[in-house]
Amino acid sequence: MIVLSAPAGIASLSQQSQTVAAGTNLDLVAQRDSNQTSGRRWIHNVGQHISLFVTGVKDQIALKLIAAKGKVQVQAQSDSIEVTADKDVTVTACKGKVEIAAGQEILLTSGGGYIRLKGGNIEVHCPGEVSVKGASHALTGPASLSTPTPTFNKPGMGNLQVIHDFANGYSMDQGKFVLTDALGIKHSGVLDAAGKAMVNGLPTGPAQVQFLGRPHKSEADIFPFVPQPEAALQKMGAAVQQQAMSQLGSLVGKALPPGAAGLAQNLAQAKGAVDQAKAMASQAQAALQQARDIKQLASGASLPAAVGMIKNIV
């Protein structure tokens, strides 16, 4: 868990994109205002339900839906739309017309009276008076008007490609997976040799994939074996020793006995110790010579020169 807290505020900025994802819930809480601004589009895709609730203030506008340009479209593609108000409902077309069309029936009712338009017939019934007034009344033969109604396409089924690979280029071939679509239906499958699979017939919406691994294989089979540095050095040392033994055999003029490899290694170590002892002896001889020179200078009149030599040695 990561917790971010700052008394004066927290800002997260990027000149490119930002993504916030959650496996279960994503909660945004503000004790005052919550502002969202988008320069182009504001799109929400929801699998089940959207709810907008405003407590509101009396006699003030509590919910606004305004389009400064363009059309406002509200559809219920597989069920009904209900508009209810405690007081008045007003429908106004400022510069155009109001059209009400129904595929089966239109019913207007109030106070017990009603007007029904159904099947090409009009019923005007009321418990009281019916008042029809006009400068003239034309009662002629039948006439009709057909108004087309929109048709809704069923949600299409989509395809989703599942890929499981690693940064080094190796893929989880033949691995099993379970995909849960937007409706909660689970789809099981197996990846191919490239670590890919295509799942068809999925509803539009988010999907979640769970990889189950490969059968009868371990994770070590996915990656090639890389030897450790110690093993690589030991292998290199053995190769150098073998090459040295072959060269030594060519110098001697005959094949070396089986135990010569260990002997050659001991000789090489002894040679290194001898070289180190020679270097130490040379240093000791130089120091002895410098001590003799200092003694000779100190016994004579050149005492300052001896002191200078001692300083150079130090």
pLDDT, position 259: 56
Report pLDDT digits (tens) over 100-124: 999 899 999 999 999 999 999 999 9
- The mean pLDDT of 50-77, rounded to a whole number, is 90
Which of 43, 62, 60 is closest to 52 using CA atoms? 62
Report pLDDT digits (tens) over 193-243: 888 899 988 888 788 899 887 654 555 555 555 555 555 555 555 665 666
Token readout for 134 is 């006009």
- Please state, in angstroms and rounded to a whole number, the distance separating the CA atoms of residues 3 and 209: 27
Q: Residue 172, class by beta-carbon neighbours within 10 Å (0-12 exposed, 13-18 middle, 19+ buried)? A: buried
- Please state, in angstroms and rounded to a whole number, the distance separating the CA atoms of residues 274 and 267: 10
pLDDT, position 60: 87
Q: Which residue has the higher pLDDT, 289 or 42?
A: 42
Does the pLDDT of residue 274 top 90, yes or no?
Answer: no
Does the pLDDT of residue 55 top 60, yes or no?
Answer: yes
pLDDT, position 205: 79
DSSP code of 270? H
pLDDT, position 47: 76
The mean of the pLDDT values for the chain is 79
Does the pLDDT of residue 97 top 70, yes or no?
Answer: yes
Could you tell me the CA-to-CA distances from 20 to 16, 28, 38, 181, 201 in Å, in that order? 14, 12, 16, 20, 28
Spell out a b/e string for 187-204, using b for 16 or more CB atoms within 10 Å of the CB, else e: beeebeeebebebeebee
pLDDT grade for 248, boundaries at 50, 70 and 90: low
Which of 172, 165, 171, 162 is closest to 199 using CA atoms? 162
- Please state, in angstroms and rounded to a whole number, the distance separating the CA atoms of residues 175 and 196: 9
- The mean pLDDT of 284-306, rounded to a whole number, is 62
Does the pLDDT of residue 253 top 60, yes or no?
Answer: no
Does the pLDDT of residue 310 top 70, yes or no?
Answer: no
